[in-house]
Structure 1
Amino acid sequence: MTSKSPNQLKKILGLSFGIAILIGGTIGVGILRTPGTIAGMLDNYWLIIACWLLGGIYVLIGAGTYAELASMLPKAGGSYNYVKRAFGDYAGFITGWFDYFSNAIAPAFFCIVISEYIVILMPEWQNETTVIAMAFLIGFTLLHATGIKSGSIVQQISSVIKVILFVILIIACFSYTGIQIEPIKKTPALMDAGIIISFLKSLQLVLGTYDGWNAACFFAEEDENPGKNIPRSLYFGALLVIAIYIIINMAFLYVLPVSNIANSPLAASDVAKVVFGEKGSIVVTIIAIFSIISVLNAYMMVPSRILYGMSRDGFFIKKGTIINTTGTPIVTLLVSSLFAFILIYIGTFEILFLLSTFMAITVWGSTYVSLIKLRISEPNLERPYKSWGYPYTSILMIVFSIALFTGFAYSDSKSFLAIVGITLLSYPIFLLLKPKSNKE
């Protein structure tokens, strides 16, 4: 596709959008739900904090890799472009589809969670969660069909408000001086499953909650100055998210003991009931809905960019490159929304969340390897930004990714088998599409 094509994406985004898409696409559903699950598995304050900190360090180092690659190859599609450039069409193909599935799953479980929070406010709608989730998906599909400017404005406003609301919640928790809650006596789950397995499963959930930290890279082609804006967006946004995640866990555990939060599906609401009373819990539930809406807005845009980039190279239908007059890759938006619509109907939050995390780790690991390959094979490529600590940080991230993949495969065999199945099916499909890509 040449720059003269009428289907070219519009370069109208800047630094504020990059930060907003990272914050808006990351903070939300995970931090409101997973603290209870993680507390149930680890049952130890310092292990819980260490798990969130380790996930944050992983993200911060990874930001350096993505900052270099995205500023060097500012194209729609994110990791797909980097792996394809480094290792060829098939590697790019499978990475792109893994990344697509991982991100296209996201709107489905965000809509599911929104519906679950709404039911808390409206118990009479208890049996309508699927309908509510589908309604949100349709509404945001229509919003993004109106153009990238609409999505950008909604993202920036909602992300700022989201940060303010989380800061208010944190301050309220640390200001709490009420009666101390007696810990629930129970057998530590840590001893049931073993410390290593429990920590790995917790880390899987933590990294799933951090998922979205590289969101700015998907929009590099639409950024006015990707060489400067992408690195700044990644680092500033990542540091802010890490700080909020760690501090909010400390705030929750300041209010309630680990044993009282353990296995709670809605830890934020449980904490709010203690801090604000029953009415306060309702207020926080409303805040949670608004927060997740911001995440949903971000992930309505990401999958369509991945599929657009792959369509341009012949790895999806040719009409996938169609851009409407307002800058939206409209065909890939509709395809992605249809995929999420089906997942809402057949899936649940837990299954979708674990599977998407597994795929994300695979994509991230492939991206770290591609940085080393491109440094060796194409040392003269213009690099507006270079990853700090190279090659040591890259090697560390590769080893860490392999360890995570191995641990996840052991502790989550169902998701691992799903990954294997998708991989086996990918090559014959690639062979069918390859002639088309060669003609581009």
Structure 2
Amino acid sequence: MEIQTPKTNQLRKVLGVAFGLAVVVGSTIGVGILRTPGTIATLIPNATLIMCCWVSIGLYIILAASSYAELTTMFPKAGGAYNYIKIAFGNYLGFVNGWFDFLTNAIAPAYFCIVLSEYSILMFPELASTKTTIAVSFLTFFTAINLPGIKSGSFIQKITSAIKVVLFLILIIGCFLFQPTGQIPVQQTMITGGLMLGIFKALQLIMGTYDGWMSVSFFAEEDNNPNKNIPKSYLLGALTIGLLYVLINGAILYVLPIEAIAKSPLAASDAANAAFGGWSGTLMTAVAIFSLVSILNAYMMIPSRILFGLGRDGFFIKQSTIVNQGGTPYYSLIMCYVFALVLTVSSSFEQLFGLATIMMTLVTGFAFASLIRLRHTQPDFPRPYKTFGYPFTSYLALAVTIALFIAFAVSDVVSLSIMVVIMALSYPAYKLFVKPNNNDTFD
């Protein structure tokens, strides 16, 4: 595809609240919400406690979204959290967190393409021998959609996210309209040490289903009115996801007994089968596919914006800042495509995703710390939006994030070790890319 009059540092300001809401919902709600209820019911065999866990994390995400909204409106730049971390803690920590953020998000498209290929094979078993080809085809197709410009990617994001929400609402309404036969038993459980450990593990799983809630931050520079649109996108997105997650779990618990949910690897599918009968398979396949397609499209756009921001700040090669007429960081997208292609073909993601989780938690923690630090060091800097409940809410969000990081580090020593090695190697890379006169400035 020909690039017309390539320029640097000129993303197009054409996005609004509709896209912001679509990218938050689209990049967050996925197959995880369909799979986790069974595991969580095994860890916490009590319906009330399960719902309390989902509500608690939903409230945490709303607090986190409010904090991110303050930071993003202060610095409405492409690239996400590293912009705030760089200003608050200096170039080196900005550099490290920017690359951690990139790796976390650039791994995702490969995984989603693999899973989409698996669902395609479930629908068409005769394609089983072409699993890798199908995955690469999805990756190539969605890269091609986003190459011409931001408008094409934005349109696909809004459409697929809307369809996904509608399908989930059909599932929820159908379950609540279903009349369970007989009294569903509710198991009463004593609060024991083992149960408390189960609650902590369940909260970790629930946090995983919310990954993507901060997606607005990557596109802040392309918003046509960031001061107004970004807070609305964050808070409406967090509220929408939280309500859907609570309703989905409530629907599953309404239709199925705890014992049945705990034994099911895909409890949402079992609930749909009880409510819809023969239509359940078609509905759940559609829900899964549109969930994945919407997420894949979002994650084809996100990593290229991180590379664009890193390149502009001198943290990567200058070519990453080249933007085509449609507003796409053209070369950054191609580099992300090649990176994801290698992972898709190699299909070795288990350790990478464990690593991605711990890196994302670290970046999020530094982002919350940036808000607190900037409140002290730059109290007069313009803040078009201020997080509600400060300082309590921001300190709470930071404390919860630190606790989650410690939990991930203890439970996954291998990923922690890899992250430490990456950090050790990051300083020579920082010296290679960053010029001595690249000072921290407010701009």
Among 132, 150, 154, the alignment partner of 1:130 is 132
Partner of 2:328: 328
Partner of 1:376: 376
Q: State whether residues 20 and 230 of structure 2, in contact with CA within 8 Å, keep that contact through their aligned partners in structure 1.
A: yes
Q: CA deviation at 1:142?
A: 0.6
- Partner amino acid, structure 2, of 1:217: S
Equivalents in 2 of 1:437, 1:172: separation in Å?
A: 61
Q: State whether residues 261 and 267 of structure 1, in contact with CA within 8 Å, keep that contact through their aligned partners in structure 2.
A: yes
Equivalents in 2 of 1:161, 1:78: separation in Å?
A: 27
Q: State whether residues 62 and 238 of structure 2, in contact with CA within 8 Å, keep that contact through their aligned partners in structure 1.
A: yes
- Partner amino acid, structure 1, of 2:49: L
Give the unaligned 5+ runs of structure 1.
Answer: none
Q: CA deviation at 1:398?
A: 1.5
CA displacement 1:81-139 (0-9 Å, x = unmatched):
00001111111011111111111122122222222222222233344433322211111
1:36-435 map, 5 Å: 36-179=38-181, 194-262=194-262, 264-347=264-347, 351-435=351-435
Equivalents in 1 of 2:345, 2:142: separation in Å?
A: 17
Equivalents in 2 of 1:101, 1:82: separation in Å?
A: 18
Equivalents in 2 of 1:209, 1:383: separation in Å?
A: 30
Among 5, 14, 17, the alignment partner of 1:15 is 17
- With over 3 angstroms needed to count, the CA separation of the structure-2 counterparts of 1:94 and 1:68, relative to structure 1, is same
CA displacement 1:312-363 (0-9 Å, x = unmatched):
1111111111111111001111111222222223346654544322222111
Aligned residues: 435
What is the TM-score with the length of structure 1 in the denominator?
0.91
Q: State whether residues 175 and 254 of structure 2, in contact with CA within 8 Å, keep that contact through their aligned partners in structure 1.
A: yes
Equivalents in 1 of 2:148, 2:311: separation in Å?
A: 21
Q: State whether residues 7 and 324 of structure 2, in contact with CA within 8 Å, keep that contact through their aligned partners in structure 1.
A: no
Q: CA deviation at 1:181?
A: 10
Q: State whether residues 77 and 218 of structure 1, in contact with CA within 8 Å, keep that contact through their aligned partners in structure 2.
A: yes
Equivalents in 2 of 1:340, 1:110: separation in Å?
A: 10
Equivalents in 2 of 1:263, 1:410: separation in Å?
A: 27
Equivalents in 2 of 1:433, 1:412: separation in Å?
A: 31
CA displacement 1:46-103 (0-9 Å, x = unmatched):
3322222222122111111111111110000110100001111111011111111111
- Partner amino acid, structure 2, of 1:52: W
What is the TM-score with the length of structure 2 in the denominator?
0.91
Q: CA deviation at 1:438?
A: 2.8
Q: CA deviation at 1:179?
A: 4.3
Q: CA deviation at 1:192?
A: 12
Q: CA deviation at 1:385?
A: 0.5
Identity rate, percent: 52
- With over 3 angstroms needed to count, the CA separation of the structure-2 counterparts of 1:174 and 1:423, relative to structure 1, is same
- Partner amino acid, structure 2, of 1:387: T
Equivalents in 1 of 2:433, 2:8: separation in Å?
A: 24
CA displacement 1:16-46 (0-9 Å, x = unmatched):
1111111111112221222223233333323
Two-structure CA RMSD over aligned residues (Å): 2.7
Equivalents in 1 of 2:198, 2:319: separation in Å?
A: 45
Equivalents in 1 of 2:254, 2:131: separation in Å?
A: 32
Equivalents in 2 of 1:258, 1:127: separation in Å?
A: 38
- Partner amino acid, structure 1, of 2:200: L
- With over 3 angstroms needed to count, the CA separation of the structure-2 counterparts of 1:124 and 1:7, relative to structure 1, is same
Equivalents in 1 of 2:65, 2:368: separation in Å?
A: 10
Q: CA deviation at 1:371?
A: 0.5
Q: CA deviation at 1:414?
A: 2.7
Q: CA deviation at 1:434?
A: 2.2
Q: State whether residues 107 and 340 of structure 2, in contact with CA within 8 Å, keep that contact through their aligned partners in structure 1.
A: yes
Q: State whether residues 114 and 135 of structure 2, in contact with CA within 8 Å, keep that contact through their aligned partners in structure 1.
A: yes
